[in-house]
Amino acid sequence: MITTEQVKELRDKTGVSIMQCKKALEDAGGDIEKALVLLKKKGAEIADKKGDRTLGAGVVQAYIHTSGTIGAMVELLCETDFVAKNEEFKALAYDIAMQVAATKPEFLQMSDITDEAKEKAREVFMKEVEGKPEEMKAQILEGKMNAYFKDMVLLQQTFIKDDSLTVEGKISNAIQKFGEKVVVGKFARFAIVG
């Protein structure tokens, strides 16, 4: 028997609808941790299905650190003005702008990493895999490259307000919650270097 307290707890953790929370809890036999995994999986599936939709709305949100010396702007896109005007959507854009200000990402997604940046990193890591078995070199090199670039790619970064999610995971949750495609369009970070 799923209790309303369990549903409320899961809803508070995820922000998705009560019906989705109840269904996930039923499918997980009342186990909240399993329900969280089910909702994440479902969120990724929903994001994939909405991937080809047209983005016709969104917000530009800024974050300025209290020192006034660091700031960031983020363009967060969605399909409709209805979602773009939603306070939770605007808060997500603000949180992503805060993420950009705090973590200094260089790229939005892995596919944005330049060939030049990849080659420079590969040269460094090739020296580190010397002497390793040939059949393992490529796998070790790929692991080192992914780990190196993870913190430079906004969508791959651990979300600063919830270390159980990446920024991409946070956006997938938003897609599930709002029922629309949500994408970071552009971002910029500004800092006074003294």
Residues 21-40: tens digit of each pLDDT? 888 888 888 888 888 788 77
Residue 44: the pLDDT is 62
Dihedral sign for Cα 106, 61, 58, 87, please. positive
Please name the helix (run of DSSP H) or strand (run of DSSP E) that holds residue 36, with its range, or none: helix 32-49
Q: Can you tell me the mean pLDDT for 9-17?
A: 76
Phi then psi dihedrals of residue 63, to 5 deg: -130, 130
Which residues are paired to 153 by β-bridges?
107
% of the chain exceeding 70 in pLDDT: 93
Name the average pLDDT for the chain.
87
The region of weakest confidence among 45-59, 65-79, 132-146 is 45-59
Q: Can you tell me the mean pLDDT for 85-105?
A: 96
Residue 49: the pLDDT is 56
CA angle 183, 186, 188 (to 5 degrees): 140
pLDDT at 185 over 90: yes
Q: Can you tell me the mean pLDDT for 77-102?
A: 95
Beta strand pairing status for 57-64 and 70-78?
antiparallel
Residue 22: the pLDDT is 83
Residue 105: the pLDDT is 96
Residue 88: the pLDDT is 94
Q: Distance between CA 74 and CA 70 in Å, rounded?
A: 14
Residue 52: the pLDDT is 62
Residue 51: the pLDDT is 53
Phi then psi dihedrals of residue 34, to 5 deg: -65, -40
Q: Can you tell me the mean pLDDT for 127-136?
A: 82
**pTM score, two decimals?**
0.70
Report residue 165 as tokens: 């999610």
Please name the helix (run of DSSP H) or strand (run of DSSP E) that holds residue 63, with its range, or none: strand 57-64
Residue 46: the pLDDT is 58
pLDDT bin (cut points 50, 70, 90) of residue 53 is low
Residue 90: the pLDDT is 97
pLDDT at 89 over 90: yes
Q: Can you tell me the mean pLDDT for 53-65?
A: 88
